[in-house]
Chains A and B, each alone.
Chain A
């Protein structure tokens, strides 16, 4: 589809994220949460959507809260948006009153087809990016997003493969290699990339422990699981414990992926290309498997 357009850059057609990426920035707006300037700067290459939300207990109708606090919430969101405008961006804003924070973030992210969600935490200058890579995550999307955000800068990336332990199907080594390959392919100098792998049972705990080394953490959504229902989503738990902001890369929307695979060439090509780079041994990201099914290969 996009590759068919005249003048379309073919390299871009290989991307598995949207360019520029759409990043959703949820802000607990009436609690006085703000966004550090360094984060504003870091997100400059992306289309940012500032989502100001306020969570109410169930006994309060959202309409009642909006009657009284709507203006304040809109103003606070506009203030944050202004800092992005000052940095040369053109952010969109949304204001939501809700009883359920996760439902709201998921809904808005899905409506916008957001590439990633930034769970904010205080941070300084962003130069050290930690990318924990665990099983069943679209490594291509993680790498493409990091490459886009760091393009032309001096930021350093640590790709950290974490295997669950003995007998795990996840090949951390090759996942990390795939990501490194992809980052270099996007023009990030090799000396700005470090790779390492470890084995860990308490992955979330270990990621939180390491968060003080990083200025930002970039990770995948993680699978829905019983544990996630009980303890909260992986990324939320990291953001809660970590001292750095967490950029959560969303899985590709299943609907969008299905639409793309409908006899469209550009995306099928991108999937094939990725397979070649991955040498067929990387964990297969779910949406791309769908594409592979359509691939004549």
Chain B
């Protein structure tokens, strides 16, 4: 056998009866990564796990908050707005995928930007995405509180005049943080069950609504002009609803733990954008078929509940409220986990003290990073301004998306020796260029308050970098 000479180191022992041991080093970056000291890091998250993270992070806001607002803005053409949002998300997801397969390390956007553009942009993105995720988590938790209040009201439980939204949001924030601190396997398992159950409810709802809209149940659906307000509102509405696509890049924060990253990372990111995109468009279609867009707009943020009620009465309303609860749980939990990983990524590079990535052996969890995720979230929840929270989170994410697209173009131009992505974006200048312009453009549509808070956070991050970490060099360091 030809291996014989190759295996001569061990061939002095008499091997027989079975193929000689050909000691293959672990296929690097496929099933396990090897550290400098020779320790192996097993990759354990598969494709479905990656999709679950992407879908689970994104789905919290889009379906339950936006249909009424969007229909009010663009009429049934709001479905097209969600479609446009999905296309922009894909324009960013493709460059992110390429970067992630070239650098399958935990840290996601921060890692790519710091390696391609240098430590200062990296630090600004890394720190502001930590805070951006904190804002997003707070937004989801307040959403959770609202759903609890709505479920109680729907079920006829009297709570009197006591405000319960914020207390429930705070309680649940503490619960999720504790679960991640002390749970051994619970957190990941919880996430998968929640996403699974949520998708099941949504598919039933959309299936029934879709058939109903087509007249299967013998009820005429509301005929309405597709774009009653003309084409322009379709685009402004797209800017509004883009928030519902934030989160696909979170898949890249677990890049270090994903099996066969060259295949699974791009697939998971693109698939999760496509899945939620289809769900969003279908939801708008069903909602605008059930009611006229003016009626929908008057329902505001609970529009989708009224749609479900119109199908099967209060059972439908409660089912969709529970789905909303699950969606906010899933997004909040996924965001807390991403925050902890974002903290780890910047602390590993000593942009913040290494202390932040300490973990405890007893529970095996990163307690410092999780506390740095959960603590500020509770403060923001108590503050309670939902719309500002959501927009600031979007602002900071969009800055990262824009810079990731720039990072791709820079990487392709410099093409360092180690840069060997398994997946290459076709026509990368066009795709990444459009992605960058679209991300930056969406920022301009935001409220001035959110823009000011966002810029302030980035300035503070830059100041911190100058003060604490100005000697850190990251460009091109693997």
Contacts and interface: CB of A to CB of B under 8 A. Distances in A.
B293 interface: no
Given A58-B187, A60-B365, A97 B16 contact: no
B270 to A, nearest CB: 23
A169 B370 CA distance: 55
Interface stretch (A7-15, A191-199, A234-242): A7-15
Given A62-B256, A103-B42, A260 B19 contact: yes
Given A57-B184, A60-B364, A64-B366, A95 B39 contact: yes
B44 A68 contact: no
B135 to A, nearest CB: 20
A95 B361 contact: no
B363 interface: yes
Contacts of B180: 59
Contacts of A121: none
Interface in A242-264: 252-253, 256, 259-260, 264
A56 B24 CA distance: 25
Q: Pick the most buried of A58, A111, A115: most chain B CB atoms within 10 A of its CB.
A: A58
B117 interface: no
A96 interface: yes
A56 B340 CA distance: 15
A225 B160 CA distance: 55
A67 B358 CA distance: 9
Contact of A96 (B1, B32, B187): B32
A111 B26 contact: yes
A6 B140 CA distance: 73
A100 B188 CA distance: 13
Contact of B359 (A60, A264, A267): A60
A64 B16 contact: no
Interface in B15-31: 15-24, 26, 31
B16 A12 contact: yes
Contacts of B225: none
Given A59-B365, A70-B37, A17 B19 contact: no
Contacts of A19: 13-17
Interface string A248-285: 00001100100110001011001000000000000000
A73 B41 CA distance: 13
Contact of A60 (B18, B19, B31, B366): B366
A123 interface: no
A94 B41 CA distance: 11
Contact of B40 (A13, A94, A266): A94
Interface string B112-131: 00000000000000000000
A61 B341 contact: yes
Nearest to B19: A256
Given A47-B13, A95-B39, A17 B18 contact: yes
Contacts of A66: 35, 39, 41
Interface residues of B, number: 52
Given A60-B359, A259-B19, A74 B14 contact: no
Given A18-B16, A19-B14, A19-B15, A97 B44 contact: no
Interface in B37-94: 37-42, 44-45
B305 to A, nearest CB: 32
Contacts of A97: 39-42
Nearest to A253: B19
B352 to A, nearest CB: 14
B357 interface: yes
B24 A111 contact: yes
Given A2-B15, A17-B17, A62 B41 contact: yes
B185 interface: yes
B106 interface: yes
Given A1-B1, A64-B359, A97-B41, A59 B17 contact: no
Nearest to A94: B40
B184 A12 contact: no
A160 B18 CA distance: 26
B41 A96 contact: yes
Interface in B349-381: 357-359, 361, 363-366, 370
B16 A15 contact: yes
Interface residues of A, number: 63
B26 A12 contact: no
A96 B17 contact: no
Interface in A225-239: none
B21 A112 contact: yes
A18 B37 contact: no
A115 B32 CA distance: 22
A104 interface: yes
A107 interface: yes
Contact of A18 (B18, B187, B348): B18
Interface in A41-69: 47, 54-69
B40 A30 contact: no
A266 B1 CA distance: 11
Contact of A68 (B32, B257, B340, B358): B358
B17 A18 contact: yes
Interface string B329-349: 000000001001100100010
Given A2-B17, A15-B17, A57 B187 contact: yes
Contacts of B106: 61, 63-64
A193 to B, nearest CB: 22
Contacts of B361: 30, 69
A71 to B, nearest CB: 8
B188 A57 contact: yes
A202 B371 CA distance: 48
B183 interface: yes
Interface string A12-33: 1111111110100000001000
B18 A113 contact: yes
A18 B401 CA distance: 54
Contacts of B26: 107-108, 111
Across chains A and B, which 6 residue pairs bring their CB atoms closest together, nearest first? A15-B17, A58-B188, A98-B42, A12-B16, A62-B41, A99-B44
Given A112-B23, A267-B17, 9 more contacts: A12-B14, A57-B188, A57-B364, A58-B185, A68-B359, A98-B41, A99-B44, A103-B42, A144-B17
